[in-house]
Structure 1
């Protein structure tokens, strides 16, 4: 809304508040309140890691990966994961778009261009690792450019079930400025990309309903169950180990 005249900005603000206040149009619900409250404990994850032993083994198949952050997150939230991937021998690339404030057409165009730029420098397909909304966007990139994507790994991404089966859809509508079930690009979100697609999900996720992140067999190739929180997908040794194993899988 920056740069809009005062009256126009006021009207736009009212529209977004109305979007956030809309009643849920289906019976979908996000994870229960207790799990959501536990997400607030994420600053303790780095402390917990200090008391855990985990040695990163050299990758058997070093790959180039692009990391796509979740809604409302800056790439810095995935910095620890990126460092550990590089410690294993992989090359980690940022998505180049800054904070993820929604899957708008403009933001998708920018991350698509980032993928094309990476392909221009090195034609070898890249692995897309997307956290939450970043995983949904990664799947769409793979649908448009399957020749440039080796694999998609989603981390707690709501690509299945209902777009309101999470505890963030109201905030999404207010910030992104469009309804979660009315994406600005033409797509069938649950449709599987034509590349290997792996969905990591957790029954302890406090943001995205497990059913939405796990998906159905025809919507992904494999689903891997973890025991971490939503924030833990990019902060825990458990999630790191699962991602490293998946990269070595080929």
Structure 2
């Protein structure tokens, strides 16, 4: 039976109950191989994704995750360009953390795009890129239209991720100093419409750290996905298109449109197989995952 996507109730209550969540278990880390299947399904769902809401042409800046680059966001940026948005990559190569002049460079990039179009910019970021997006929106709300994060661990312990040691190695910064950067405390929501997309089967970041406090301009939307697969998960694309299509200055919580149905039916077939695979020991044979929302190129 297919479950209708809905806003995940009380995500902040879950975070409070688990104030210090641990990194995801090894079995979920092993299941990150699902990202390959999610990329393949993106091609299969291309026709269904054409039903996504059209954009109004405003610019969208897409920020990659740790040790990733604009190559990872290319499918997303092509999708957004096809909907009529002016989609931009970040343009700084591999994301090795906020070292050197990166924060000033990001601020200049945001300002240049806003100036070029004469409009506010929507910010979309995966994992660490989503943290950049939130912090940019806090520092420059007058340039930011909305924020969407994908599996970004901005709440809870900065060590509740399988990647914190990689972050320290790549950036040369202590993970515990994460609140001492542009925009201030990571957990505080930006003063613009903000949607946090997360997955309880994330194998890299504890999902409890990736949910947003519910507020008049903020929400969390849950999907079933790997962490690595979030930037090319078809249902993430559908949620993203819906969020970016909101009129500027107006915010409504995410509600699946009727056009989501085809994607849900196509992705729901393997739901039981995914649940069984996640329950197996890490050494067991892994089955490809199927995604289902449960929420919420240049």
Aligned: 1:46 with 2:23: no
SS at match of 1:129: strand
CA-CA distance at 1:50 after TM superposition: 4.2
Deviates more, 1:62-71 or 1:211-220: 211-220
- Long gaps (5+) in structure 2: 1-18, 248-298
Q: TM-score scaled by structure 2?
A: 0.71
Q: CA RMSD in A?
A: 2.0
Indicate yes or no: 2:144 matched with 1:154.
no
**Alignment match of 2:136 (pick from 127, 134, 141):** 141
| Structure having the larger proportion of residues in helix | 1
| Aligned equivalent of 1:197 | 194
Alpha carbons of 1:138 and 1:50: their partners in 2 closer, same or farther (altered >3 Å)? closer
Contact 2:55/2:83 (CA < 8 Å) preserved in 1?
Answer: no
Name the counterpart of 2:181.
185
Write the distance in 2 (CA, Å) between the matches of 1:219 and 1:172. 32
Are the counterparts in 2 of residues 123 and 148 from structure 1 also a CA contact under 8 Å? no
Q: TM-score, normalised by structure 1?
A: 0.83
Structure 1 unaligned runs (5+)?
A: 1-25
What secondary structure sits across from 2:72 in the alignment?
Answer: helix
Matches within 5 A, 1:227-242: 227-242=224-239
Find the partner of 1:223 among 208, 220, 224.
220
State the aligned residue count.
225
Shift of 1:118: 1.1
What is the rounded CA distance, in whole Å, between the counterparts of 1:241 and 1:115 in structure 2?
25
Q: Tell me, in whole angstroms, the C-alpha distance in 2 between the residues paired with 1:190 and 1:134.
A: 15
SS of alignment partner, residue 249 of structure 1: coil
Secondary structure of 1:76's counterpart equals coil
Query: In 2, are the aligned partners of 1:62 and 1:89 still within 8 Å (CA)?
Result: yes
Q: Does 1:168 align with 2:163?
A: yes
Alignment of 1:243 with 2:240, yes or no, is yes
Query: Which whole-Å CA distance do the structure 1 matches of 2:194 and 2:49 have between them?
Result: 27
